[in-house]
Structure 1
Amino acid sequence: MSTDEAVHLCYENLNGSCVKTSYSSLPRVILYMVFGSGTVLTVFGNLLVMISILHFKQLHSPANFLIASLACADFLVGVTVMPVSTVRSVESCWYFGESYCKFHSSFEGSFCYASIYHLCFISVDRYIAVTDPLIYPTRFTTSVWGSCIVFSRLFSVTFSFPLLYSGANEAGLEDLVSALSCVGGCQVAVNSKWVFVSFAPFFIPTLVMIVVYSKIFLTAKQQSRKIESLGNKAEKSSDSYKDRVAKRERKAARTLGIAVVAFLISWLPYFIDSIIDAFVGFITPTYIYEILVWFAYYNSAMNPLIYAFFYPWFRKTIKLIITGKVMRENSSAIRLFSD
């Protein structure tokens, strides 16, 4: 083996090593900065969301607890998945062992499913809040949103981990897996049967969210027209509290609808490519796969930015946290918005 060949291998002087794609210094630095900044934004952005909702009592609501749980899933993506993927993407080699390869891939799948089911339950929560805001607190109780969180987490883990660790995803692809296997690689092949099975838990809640949000925005439009058509000031005054609550719930639904659209835009290309790839012999170039997977990863960093842009209370809590005012006595009772 020549020196020239050795520098292009993941493990020098080791038989069966994967071929390494070498980058010059500047592209390597740029890639590490891009992926590293996304990781930092994901970790600290979602940490701010969790601290805000859990610390300030005025934010203690079913929808916000679901948002905090969603932020927790995104936070774990930033802590457990993105740092390792940064090294894999830049170095084009897997240096973390074969066992952690499956663990890492299982994490990717479980966090994706956890996010989609959190967003689905949030959409149902918003539908009830918009259609009947005054009755809503009696319908979406602590036990209900607690069950939603438990289901989202348990289902995502029990579906993703057994699939990869049982090897069911590779059934019928043994020759291909053997041909692609090399030291320093981490490629997970999913056969055509299981790629559809894996897509179903993504597609079903997506369909539910599209239907629910369509009804939400239709209802919101009808409510807005009704409020505008009220000509009697006394009637307006008597319904002012209900109107304010309905307006706040519609705004929250709109913001979370944007988060849903961002999630679908981020993850759909990855799932579509996975389905196509399973039927055409896994011919997607590595760099295309890396672009798609990082596009999906960056969704975990997007939600805190969406909240910061659309929620004044989140901007206020960020300032309180950064300045250390949350450490003061009774800071949890600070009023972040008027009822």
Structure 2
Amino acid sequence: SDKLRKEPTQLCYENVNGSCVKTSYSPGPRLILYTVFGFGSLLTVFGNFLVMISVLHFKQLHSPGNLLIASLACADFLVGVTVMPFSAVRSVESCWYFGESYCKFHSCFDGSFCYASIYHLCFISLDRYIAITDPLVYPTRFTASVSGICIAFSWLLSIIYSFSLFGTGANEVGLEELVSALTCVGGCQVAVNQSWVLVNFLLFFIPTLVMMIVYSKIFLIAKHQARKIESMSNKTVRSSDSYKDRVAKRERKAAKTLGIAVITFLISWSPYLIGTIIDAFLGFITPTYIYEILVWIAYYNSAMNPLIYAVFYPWFRKAIKLIITGQILRENSSTISLFSE
């Protein structure tokens, strides 16, 4: 009789009229999915927390460019706190158990922090460009106030856009029939109409285009600089030149690292964004599991930046060590030198 009782369709809320149907996984896959999603959330929260603490605590890292990196880490950290854990439960249980109003907030947060990430990456690429084309004039051009304006712009644009789009329900205009067909208790599916899908794509595409142009220029300049340094090294070098070369070398390495961060971002987010466009124009026929896979590839991007820094920046590895071993609690720890040179 136990077997027979499990046959009827399971619902998200057993005794509620109009409850969504629940499609559960068997215990094995469930465990695997929760592990994958849970690990992603923890990695995102702790990794980005370490980046923020490093930049804010160590005086040596208090530069306008690093402020952008800390602010980017803050956006990713918030994805790990306000978006990923809730999405994990929705993805595995196929039900939304966090209330109707948090469903709206969840969509707003999701949009806000992801757009904030891409605009931060875009400004970081411009920062690297100035640092590489003009390493000696750079500190006077990219100041703390310029950095502050970039950060404010990234956050305000992203938050105002996402909250006004999802908060007002503009995303559902023209999709009323579909939305009412999809609506059930315990669901949190967000439908975005064709015109807003295109706006979303443009808001993603424009900064992406800027980054691609800027990074291709950066790599051409870096190549040119490397050649110049090689030809110089045969002649005797003045000390001011050798300082300039050292600075240029450090900036080139930073640009390369951030270039990798940008490529990772594009690989993570493009399938999801292109998928949503295709979906909107084909009448929302994408199977849920395809959508879930694409959205999680995009979410995982928030965990990637700290890993990229840890691999490429010795100073970040040193900072992590000092934080984890509790050495940053000692007095004067903020003045510890993190750079080898």
Range class of TM-score, shorter chain:
over 0.9
1:330 equivalenced with 2:332 (yes/no): yes
CA distance in structure 2 between the aligned counterparts of 1:25 and 1:48, rounded to whole angstroms = 34
- Aligned with 1:195 (options 191, 194, 197): 197
Question: What do residues 177-210 of structure 1 show as CA deviations (whole Å, max 9, x unaligned)?
Answer: 1111111111111111111011111110000000
- Aligned with 2:40 (options 38, 41, 44): 38
**Structure-1 residue corresponding to 2:117:** 115
SS of alignment partner, residue 95 of structure 2: coil
CA distance in structure 1 between the aligned counterparts of 2:36 and 2:19, rounded to whole angstroms = 28
SS of alignment partner, residue 51 of structure 1: helix
Matching of residues 1-339 of structure 1 within 5 Å:
3-4=5-6, 8-235=10-237, 237-338=239-340
Q: Evaluate the alpha carbon distance shift between residue 231 and residue 51 of structure 1 in structure 2; reply closer, same or farther with a 3 A threshold.
A: closer
Select between 291-300 and 162-171 the one with higher mean Cα deviation: 162-171
TM-fit CA distance, 1:12: 0.8
Question: Aligned-residue CA RMSD in angstroms?
Answer: 1.3
TM-fit CA distance, 1:238: 4.0
Q: Evaluate the alpha carbon distance shift between residue 90 and residue 23 of structure 1 in structure 2; reply closer, same or farther with a 3 A threshold.
A: same
SS of alignment partner, residue 185 of structure 1: coil
Question: What do residues 146-193 of structure 1 show as CA deviations (whole Å, max 9, x unaligned)?
Answer: 000011000000000111121211111111111111111111111111
CA distance in structure 1 between the aligned counterparts of 2:53 and 2:260, rounded to whole angstroms = 22
TM-fit CA distance, 1:233: 3.9
Amino acid at match of 1:113: Y
CA distance in structure 2 between the aligned counterparts of 1:315 and 1:274, rounded to whole angstroms = 37
Q: Evaluate the alpha carbon distance shift between residue 125 and residue 20 of structure 1 in structure 2; reply closer, same or farther with a 3 A threshold.
A: same
User: Where in structure 1 are there 5+ consecutive unaligned residues?
Assistant: none
CA distance in structure 2 between the aligned counterparts of 1:72 and 1:165, rounded to whole angstroms = 23
SS of alignment partner, residue 188 of structure 1: coil
User: Where in structure 2 are there 5+ consecutive unaligned residues?
Assistant: none
TM-fit CA distance, 1:8: 1.5
TM-score (norm 2): 0.97
Aligned residues with identical type, % of pairs: 78
CA distance in structure 1 between the aligned counterparts of 2:60 and 2:239, rounded to whole angstroms = 25
CA distance in structure 1 between the aligned counterparts of 2:39 and 2:233, rounded to whole angstroms = 53
TM-score (norm 1): 0.97
CA distance in structure 2 between the aligned counterparts of 1:66 and 1:315, rounded to whole angstroms = 19
CA distance in structure 1 between the aligned counterparts of 2:88 and 2:277, rounded to whole angstroms = 24
CA distance in structure 1 between the aligned counterparts of 2:238 and 2:289, rounded to whole angstroms = 59
CA distance in structure 2 between the aligned counterparts of 1:10 and 1:301, rounded to whole angstroms = 30
User: Which consecutive aligned stretches of 4+ in structure 1 deviate over 6 angstroms post-superposition?
Assistant: none
Question: What do residues 99-139 of structure 1 show as CA deviations (whole Å, max 9, x unaligned)?
Answer: 11111011111111100000000000000000110100000
CA distance in structure 2 between the aligned counterparts of 1:100 and 1:325, rounded to whole angstroms = 39
> How many residue pairs are counted as aligned between the two chains?
338
TM-fit CA distance, 1:235: 2.4
Task: Judge conservation of contact 1:230–1:236 (CA < 8 Å) in 2.
Answer: no
SS of alignment partner, residue 230 of structure 1: helix
TM-fit CA distance, 1:23: 1.3
